[in-house]
Each structure stands twice: as structure tokens, then as C-alpha cells.
Amino acid sequence: MQKTLTVLLVEDDETTAAAIRDACADRTDMRLVGTTNDSAHAVTLIHELLPDALILDLELHEGAGNGLFVLQSLRNHPPRRQPYVLVTTNNTSRLTYESARQLGADFILSKHQQDYRDAQAVEFLAMMREIILKETKDNAPGLPPAESPDSRRRRLVQRIHRELDLVGISPKAVGYEYITEGILLLVDTPSPNVPAVLASRHQKAAPAVERAMQNAIASAWRRTPIEDLYEHYTARVSSAKGVPTLSEFLYHYAGRLRDEEA
């Protein structure tokens, strides 16, 4: 099975961001794991999500900060996995280009090119996919020491909560933390009886734990706009049921997290 190239997008133009999201969604070898128009938030996401590649707009006039700040931050405080950095920019300054390269930009796409299209960044990364994944893996021994188990758990919990929020599962739902724990459990242990394990941990009845998780999912699928669900929950959902089963939901996110850590 081919490994998916995970991509983080830093872009302040919503039309451009939408075009890149659509281009990524059309591919099976690439997945967009996040989008932001804020350079400080981008740095946080890079350290949390560890994307394989970064599409970085240098100018963030409609957001906050700029792409050079992101590059400088990655240079000063490298993440455990250094992403391949594809810069896109309206800037034509030779000095700015050189600064970006010195700070770690791997390639620069000028938006002033005659044939430039927003989807071109995605097409470029698709061509580079195999070498990016190979170099990322080969460079791993030279990276800083692996994070502690507690730090890893905190990072994964934050990641899971972000995904649950995107599909509208409320933190107030009884099943919210059960779902979080269930996904964490499946990341490291591929096939346990999740409700039974969680019931034992919390001294609850397994059917009650399972029902709380399924109710939280069903409630989100009733309340969240369908276009948001299609965008953020990419696994297949049975048209007859109209909502993921508990196992489908948990295994989908656990699989995504395992792919990101591979």
C-alpha cells in the first residue's frame, strides 16, 4: 500500500486555498492535514502534525505574519520531522528569494509565471512525492531524540480533538473522551474490543460506553453541515446508514494517525 504524502497549507487567499484543497482531495497519494493563514499557528501545526510537505505562501496579508517567519522558526527550533518546503509567492525580489532559500525553502513557485495555476503546487508535490518520502525517512536518524510517551500522548490527544471538532463532535458529549481514548488505543493496539477496554478503565458497562460514543457520532452527523462532513471525514459512509459505525469512525482516525507517524 502506497504511503500518503501529508501536506500542510499556509495560505491567506481563500480562493487559492480552496483550489489547493480541491486538488488534494482529488488525489489518493496526498492528503491535506491542515490549513492556516497565520504564521505562528503554522509553526505550531508543523510541530504537532509533522507533515511531509509544506505549501507556504510568503505573503499573508489577509492573515498574520509571513512565510519567512515560519522558515526562521523551523530553522531555530526544528520539528522532529523537517517538512519539504514549497514556497509560493507574488514577490519578485531576488533578495527575498535568496533569503527564503537560506532559511530552508526547498523550491519556490512564482505566482507571476505565465502558466501559473493554484493547483500547480499540488501537482509539483505529487511529482516529488517519492523522493520527499524517501528523504524524510532517511533523515530521521539525524533528527532530535524521539518525544517522551507523555508528550506523544498530549500531541495525539490535541490532534484527535482537532479532528473531532472539525466534524462537530461536541466536547460536552459523554462519548467525546471515550472516542478520544478509543482512537488512542487503536493507534498502538490495532484490534482490541474498544468499548470493553474503556468500560474496564472507567468501571462502566461496555454497552453504555459504546452507546455514548455512537450517540456522539450520530449527533454530529445530524447537526454538522454535510459539506463540512464531506470535507473533513474522508472515509466512505454507507448511504443506507448515513452515519459511520463506531468501528469505522475509530479505525479511520487511528489509521490516519498511524500513517502520519510512519
Q: Which domain holds residue 183?
A: 149-261
Q: Cell numbers 531524540 label which residue?
A: 145
Q: Identify the CATH number of the domain in which residue 216 sits.
A: 1.10.10.10
Q: What angle do CA 17, 19, 21 make, to 5 degrees?
A: 70
Query: For the chain, how many structural domains are there in total?
Result: 2
pLDDT surpassing 60 at residue 146: no
Residues 210 and 237 in one domain: yes
Q: What number is the average pLDDT over the span 215-236?
A: 90
Predicted pLDDT of residue 184: 92
Residues 138 and 222 in one domain: no
Residues 138 and 165 in one domain: no
Predicted pLDDT of residue 141: 47
Residues 241 and 168 in one domain: yes
Higher-pLDDT residue of 59 and 255 is 255
Predicted pLDDT of residue 196: 93
**Sign of the Cα pseudo-torsion (234, 235, 239, 240, in order):** negative
Cell of 163: 479532528
pLDDT surpassing 80 at residue 91: no
Residues 83 and 118 in one domain: yes
Residues 246 and 169 in one domain: yes
Domain boundary among 142, 174, 203: 142
Domain boundary among 142, 162, 186: 142
Q: How far apart are CA 160 and CA 254, in angstroms?
A: 9
> Which span out of 10-14, 76-80, 128-132, 215-219 was modeled with the highest average pLDDT?
215-219
pTM for the model: 0.53
Predicted pLDDT of residue 182: 94
Residues 48 and 137 in one domain: yes
Q: Mind listing the pLDDT tens digit for each residue in 112-144?
A: 666 777 787 888 888 887 888 877 654 444 445
Predicted pLDDT of residue 250: 94
Strands 107-110 and 84-89: parallel
Residues 157 and 239 in one domain: yes
Residues 191 and 255 in one domain: yes
Strand partners, 35: 9
Q: How far apart are CA 166 and CA 230, in angstroms?
A: 11
Domain boundary among 142, 172, 192: 142
Q: Are 100 and 87 in contact (CB under 8 A)?
A: yes
Q: Identify the CATH number of the domain in which residue 66 sits.
A: 3.40.50.2300
> Which span out of 93-97, 124-128, 230-234 was modeled with the highest average pLDDT?
230-234
Higher-pLDDT residue of 113 and 181 is 181
Q: Mind listing the pLDDT tens digit for each residue in 24-33?
A: 888 888 888 8
Q: What number is the average pLDDT over the span 176-185?
A: 94
pLDDT classification of 236: cutoffs 50, 70, 90: confident
Q: Are 34 and 45 in contact (CB under 8 A)?
A: yes
Residues 87 and 159 in one domain: no
Q: Are 100 and 71 in contact (CB under 8 A)?
A: yes
Residues 133 and 13 in one domain: yes
pLDDT surpassing 90 at residue 210: yes
Residues 171 and 132 in one domain: no
